[in-house]
Amino acid sequence: MNDSRPPPFSRWLVVSYSAFIAVLVPVYWVYLGPQNFLWGCDIALLLTLVALWRKAALPASMAVLVTLIPDIVWNIDFLLHLVFGRDVLGANATAYMFEQSTPLFVRALSLFHVFLAPLLLWMVYRVGYDRRALIWITVVAWLAIVASYLVSDADQNVNWVYGVGPIPPVWMSDQVYLILYMLAVPVIIFLPTHWFVKRWF
């Protein structure tokens, strides 16, 4: 029997998002370096692309877990910085958006933080939430955190493996902080989102 149901995602959305990623990836690679793709938000960008093309719940669910809470914080920090002209929250989450040394079009690409979380929530609504996402995104995040520690330094601080924002863990060794951080990410970021999405979708 033929399935006459319409696809969960329009071709226009798939093509538009794919074009955006086709621009973002080489620009980020050149200006920010390949290590930038270890950030959770960039991993979510690529998972979203896979979910759109495969119409799959698992990559969309993984992406929403790693995106929702950080992007809420990012948008609040960015808005406050725009209004007050300085970092208000103290985490420097969006300070790079105001650095004149980085070309404007490179910074503008980071505005995906504005639309990615709503897009992913809608995608999960369309294809369903895969509860296996919690385990899978935890594994991916731990691998990305370890890789970030190995390939980045304290100045780059990819995935905040050398301290939260500009705050170094001066009261513990780097290795102890890294282990505690790896344990904290699933508990503080993934679990609350998992419970929320599971409840509503």
Mean pLDDT of 33-46: 95
Per-residue pLDDT band for 1 (boundaries 50, 70, 90) equals very low
| Separation between Cα atoms, residue 125 and residue 98, nearest integer Å | 34
What is the predicted pLDDT for the residue at 55? Answer: 94
Q: Above pLDDT 70, what percent of the chain?
A: 92
Both tokens of 132, joined, read 């296996």
CB under 8 Å to 4, separation ≥6 — which residues? Answer: none
Angle of the 57-84 helix axis to the 133-151 helix axis, nearest 10: 60
Per-residue pLDDT band for 86 (boundaries 50, 70, 90) equals confident
What does pLDDT average to over the chain? 90
pLDDT exceeds 90 at position 71:
yes
The domain locations on the chain are 11-200
In our burial notation (b when 16+ CB lie closer than 10 A, e otherwise), range 179-196 reads eebbeebbeebbeebbee
Per-residue pLDDT band for 78 (boundaries 50, 70, 90) equals very high
pLDDT exceeds 80 at position 166:
no
Q: Tens digits of per-residue pLDDT, 176-189?
A: 999 999 999 999 99
Q: For the chain, how many helices (H) and strands (E)? A: 8, 0
With contact defined as beta carbons under 8 Å apart, do 78 and 113 qualify?
A: yes
| Separation between Cα atoms, residue 121 and residue 118, nearest integer Å | 5
Mean pLDDT of 165-184: 82
| Separation between Cα atoms, residue 98 and residue 82, nearest integer Å | 9
pLDDT exceeds 70 at position 190:
yes
Burial class of 70 by CB neighbour count within 10 A (0 to 12, 13 to 18, 19+) = buried
3-class SS of residue 167: strand
Residues forming a β-bridge with 167: 164
What is the predicted pLDDT for the residue at 43? Answer: 97
Maximum distance among all alpha carbons in the chain?
64
Burial class of 60 by CB neighbour count within 10 A (0 to 12, 13 to 18, 19+) = buried
pLDDT exceeds 50 at position 167:
yes
Q: Tens digits of per-residue pLDDT, 122-143?
A: 999 999 999 999 999 999 999 9
Q: Above pLDDT 90, what percent of the chain?
A: 70
pLDDT exceeds 60 at position 90:
yes
* Closest to 186 in 3D by CA, of 111, 126, 135, 119: 135
pLDDT exceeds 90 at position 148:
yes
Both tokens of 115, joined, read 């639309």
